[in-house]
């Protein structure tokens, strides 16, 4: 059904470019009809190069590190009412393979034609894939990878260097990335399993899930959940509405949520703002700057370097759990002073009293230390021993 072109490395230097054109005199592959489309298939092999660039106009699949040379299949399809009309339209298009030093450039037709590229490649130190529209899969790149699609799902795995993935709309899935990750989609979910470096992730709408990152994580979504399993550095996450979950962070967690809960499992500090939603913090060893307009706050401190902190809710309860080896000075303020039980404490060193229309609780815990300010407008403040 198709004609294959094979070129030995000895002939590579004599090729300035390989171009398929109907006028070039090649015996053309037969056409295959697929519904209202007519499809022509080109395939063959080319000598290895260290770098690859693909200029596509449709789906692209690249698997590198699996062969000593390139093995390619390019399907070019057009819509036409008859085979004769399809032949005339296909005659306008060319598939080009151009060697440029250690770089191989593959360019396929666009416009009214839809081209599908499937490529098995040798070891690649870098790959750049651009397509006007369509999903892209790239696997086994030994070095850096850059992918840009007008619209379509992007999948990348076993990337040995930095990885940059950009699509106008569609999910992004990154498996193992040995360098840093930049992932951006106009609308869709983003998943990253293992990133050795930092991860910078952005979607206008959709969930974000980072299982593990060796460096810092920066993630933003216009609306959707954000989950970070573990990060070796600071974590900065923002969502227009959804859940935020951070399992463990090696640096300060900064979380902004317009509407939804926030949960942090372990971090050396937290800066958190929520328009509405509860906030749950565990094993926090540094400074806390936490506020929510509507929702409960629960914070469990961890022994370590604790710093001055603020916990505030406009409507909800605040619960603080303090271990015996963490010393703090408490200043708690509750605007709803209908009863002294609006501030409840396990520590006799904290004195609770009325101050005008407010209820105030003050005193040292475990010998005193940095200042922990707690405020609630409507709700109850609980200060507990661990």
Average pLDDT over residues 362-384: 96
Task: Please report the pLDDT score of residue 13 as a whole number.
Answer: 41
Look-up: residue for tokens 């990885």? 163
Confidence bin at 304 (pLDDT 50/70/90) = confident
Task: Please report the pLDDT score of residue 17 as a whole number.
Answer: 42
Average pLDDT over residues 260-271: 97
Choice among 5-19, 65-79, 280-294 with the minimum mean pLDDT: 5-19
Burial of 28 (0-12, 13-18, 19+ CB in 10 A): middle
Our CA angle for 219, 225, 226, nearest 5°, is: 35
Higher local confidence (pLDDT), 85 or 72:
72
pLDDT per position as a tens digit, 201-215? 999 999 999 999 999
Residue 159 in tokens: 């990337």
Q: Distance between CA 240 and CA 152 in Å, rounded?
A: 23
Residues 6+ apart with CB under 8 A from 284: 264, 266, 267, 268, 269, 270, 299, 300, 301, 302
Task: Please report the pLDDT score of residue 89 as a whole number.
Answer: 84
pTM: 0.90
Choice among 227-231, 311-315, 332-336 with the minimum mean pLDDT: 332-336
Mean pLDDT of the chain: 91
Q: Distance between CA 335 and CA 357 in Å, rounded?
A: 7
Task: Please report the pLDDT score of residue 29 as a whole number.
Answer: 61
Q: Distance between CA 207 and CA 218 in Å, rounded?
A: 14
Task: Please report the pLDDT score of residue 90 as a whole number.
Answer: 83
Task: Please report the pLDDT score of residue 102 as a whole number.
Answer: 97
Q: Distance between CA 381 and CA 366 in Å, rounded?
A: 19
Residue 155 in tokens: 């999948």
User: What are the helix (H) ranges across the chain?
Assistant: 9-12, 83-90
Average pLDDT over residues 336-344: 85
pLDDT surpasses 70 at 10: no
Task: Please report the pLDDT score of residue 208 as a whole number.
Answer: 98
Q: Distance between CA 164 and CA 192 in Å, rounded?
A: 12
Residue 107 in tokens: 């360019």
Task: Please report the pLDDT score of residue 30 as a whole number.
Answer: 67
Confidence bin at 23 (pLDDT 50/70/90) = very low
Q: Distance between CA 364 and CA 351 in Å, rounded?
A: 10
Q: Distance between CA 213 and CA 231 in Å, rounded?
A: 5
Phi-psi label, residue 265: left if phi above 0, alpha if psi -120 to 50, beta otherwise: alpha
Bridge partners, 45 (sequence order): 6, 71
Residue 354, CA distances (Å) to 336, 340, 349, 382 in order: 10, 8, 17, 17
Listed residue (107, 145, 110) closest to 124, CA to CA = 145
pLDDT surpasses 50 at 293: yes
pLDDT surpasses 90 at 20: no
């Amino acid at each position: 059904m198709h004609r294959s072109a094979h070129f030995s490395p000895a002939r590579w230097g004599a090729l300035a470019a390989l171009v398929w054109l109907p006028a070039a005199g090649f015996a053309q592959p037969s056409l295959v009809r697929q519904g209202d489309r007519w499809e022509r298939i080109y395939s063959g092999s080319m000598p290895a190069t260290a770098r690859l660039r693909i200029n596509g106009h449709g789906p692209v699949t690249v698997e590198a590190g699996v062969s000593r040379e390139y093995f390619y299949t390019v399907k070019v399809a057009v819509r036409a009412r008859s085979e004769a009309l399809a032949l005339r339209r296909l005659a306008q298009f060319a598939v080009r393979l151009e060697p440029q030093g250690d770089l191989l450039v593959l360019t396929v037709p666009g416009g009214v034609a839809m081209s599908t590229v499937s490529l098995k490649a040798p070891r690649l130190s870098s790959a750049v894939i651009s397509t006007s529209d369509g999903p892209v899969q790239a696997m086994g790149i030994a070095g850096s990878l850059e992918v840009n699609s007008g619209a379509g799902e992007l999948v990348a795995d076993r990337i040995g260097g930095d990885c940059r993935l950009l699509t106008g709309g569609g999910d992004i899935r990154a498996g193992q990335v040995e360098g840093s990750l930049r992932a951006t989609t106009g609308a869709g979910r983003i998943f990253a399993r293992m990133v050795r470096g930092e991860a910078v992730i952005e979607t206008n709408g959709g969930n974000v899930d980072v299982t593990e990152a060796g460096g810092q994580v920066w993630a933003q979504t216009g609306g959707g959940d954000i989950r970070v399993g573990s990060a070796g550095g600071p974590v900065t996450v923002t969502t227009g509405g959804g859940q935020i979950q951070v399992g463990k962070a090696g640096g300060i967690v900064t979380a902004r949520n317009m509407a939804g809960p926030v949960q942090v499992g372990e971090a050396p500090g937290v800066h958190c703002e929520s328009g509405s939603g509860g906030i749950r913090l565990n094993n926090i060893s540094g400074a806390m700057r936490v506020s929510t307009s509507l929702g409960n706050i629960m914070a469990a401190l961890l022994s370590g370097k604790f710093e001055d902190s603020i916990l505030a809710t406009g409507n909800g309860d605040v619960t603080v759990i303090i271990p015996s080896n963490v010393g703090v000075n408490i200043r708690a303020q509750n605007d709803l002073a209908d009863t002294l039980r609006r501030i409840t404490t396990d520590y006799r060193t904290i004195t609770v009293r009325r101050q005008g229309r407010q209820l105030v609780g003050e005193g040292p815990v475990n010998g005193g230390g940095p200042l922990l300010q707690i405020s609630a407008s409507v709700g109850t403040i609980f200060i507990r021993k661990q």
